[in-house]
């Protein structure tokens, strides 16, 4: 079993039914509202553990935007508010075709924090993986390289994503746009700011979490490299390197188990040795044994296109 929902070790004691009712009530209250004097909220694009993303239109020019609104029962938690604002600071500092642009932050009239973001007309990478496992090799290489290029820019700004997964990578339908868009820097770590979470606090998505994340120890940019390795493994084989019956079981496998090499999996004879080496090096247990920056991965993937 794979686990694609972000988790923290601290238990959430919210009542699910109450949360659902609160979410529906807030949706009814917010639909049609105008934020910052120009963004009219329309339909909900998606709902997640931290809140909802709405489609909005600028009432002056008709352009579409995505608006992420923090869940009302979380909006007054100081740590969660700060994490939400870290997302804004992280994302708004980044400018790259492979990263969703973030334009503004604010509060609704009832106090919910929101972000104004670029709207991407296209599905998450997860949906493509469900349709075709694995994806064609050339397409997978191009997607992997585009992710690495976006993260390279983030890392140069001192920003680690920490929750990289197919759900957070959108694939625009318009071929004139970038190949992918990385979203959701909600638990990003800005290296020159204090860590919001406490020591030994596990934060991330179990199926894509690095061993050091799973142990709650110090992280650097190589934690994103590990997560990209898992995404590439899934792109090229249609399978995750690790599964578990519980999130804790899965985290233990990340820490202790060795993944089956790509070419030992069925129907992967089309994978060249160089490509396999790139993916498996990203999945090394110790950060020092992985590629140390995205540039190494990008160069390797470009060379694989020539095979």
Cβ 94 vs Cβ 118: under 8 Å: no
Are residues 40 and 33 in contact, defined by beta-carbon separation less than 8 angstroms? yes
CA distance 119 to 100: 8
Q: How far is CA 163 from the centre of its chain?
A: 5
Query: Residues 150-186, buried b or exposed e (16+ Cβ, 10 A)?
Result: bbbbbbeeebbbbbbbbbbbbbbeeeeebbbbbbbbb
Of the residues 61, 77, 104, 163, only one is catalytic, namely: 163
Q: CB-based contacts of 77: which residues, under 8 Å, 6+ apart?
A: none
Is residue 73 flagged as an active site residue?
no
Tokens describing residue 149: 């290029």
How big is the CA angle at 301 (ends 280 and 214), to the nearest 5 degrees?
A: 35
Specify whether the CB–CB gap between 201 and 191 falls below 8 A.
Answer: no
Catalytic annotation, residues:
163
């Amino acid at each position: 079993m794979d686990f694609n929902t972000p988790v923290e070790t601290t238990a959430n004691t919210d009542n699910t039914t109450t949360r659902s009712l609160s979410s529906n009530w807030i949706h009814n209250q917010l639909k049609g509202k105008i934020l910052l004097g120009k963004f009219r909220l329309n339909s909900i694009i998606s709902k997640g553990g931290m809140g909802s993303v709405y489609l909005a239109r600028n009432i002056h020019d008709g352009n579409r935007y995505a608006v992420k609104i923090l869940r009302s029962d979380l909006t007054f938690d100081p740590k969660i508010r700060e994490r939400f604002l870290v997302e804004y600071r992280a994302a708004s500092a980044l400018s790259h075709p492979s990263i969703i642009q973030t334009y503004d932050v604010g509060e609704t009239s009832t106090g919910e924090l929101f972000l104004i973001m670029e709207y991407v007309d296209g599905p998450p990478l997860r949906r493509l993986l469900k349709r075709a496992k694995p994806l064609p090799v050339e397409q997978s290489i191009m997607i992997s390289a585009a992710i690495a290029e976006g993260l390279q820019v983030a890392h140069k700004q001192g920003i680690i994503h920490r929750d990289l997964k197919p759900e957070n990578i959108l694939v625009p339908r318009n071929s004139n746009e970038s190949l992918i868009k990385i979203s959701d820097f909600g638990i990003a770590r800005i290296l020159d700011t204090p860590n919001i979470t406490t020591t030994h606090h596990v934060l991330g998505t179990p199926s894509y979490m690095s061993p050091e994340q799973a142990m709650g120890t110090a992280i650097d940019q190589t934690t994103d490299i590990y997560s990209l390795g898992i995404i590439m493994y899934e792109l090229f084989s249609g399978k995750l390197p690790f599964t578990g019956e519980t999130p804790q079981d899965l985290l233990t496998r990340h820490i202790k188990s060795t993944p089956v090499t790509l070419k030992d999996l069925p129907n992967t004879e089309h994978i060249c040795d160089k490509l396999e080496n790139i993916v498996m090096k990203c999945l090394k247990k110790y950060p020092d044994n992985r590629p140390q920056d995205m540039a190494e991965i990008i160069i390797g993937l470009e060379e694989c296109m020539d095979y």
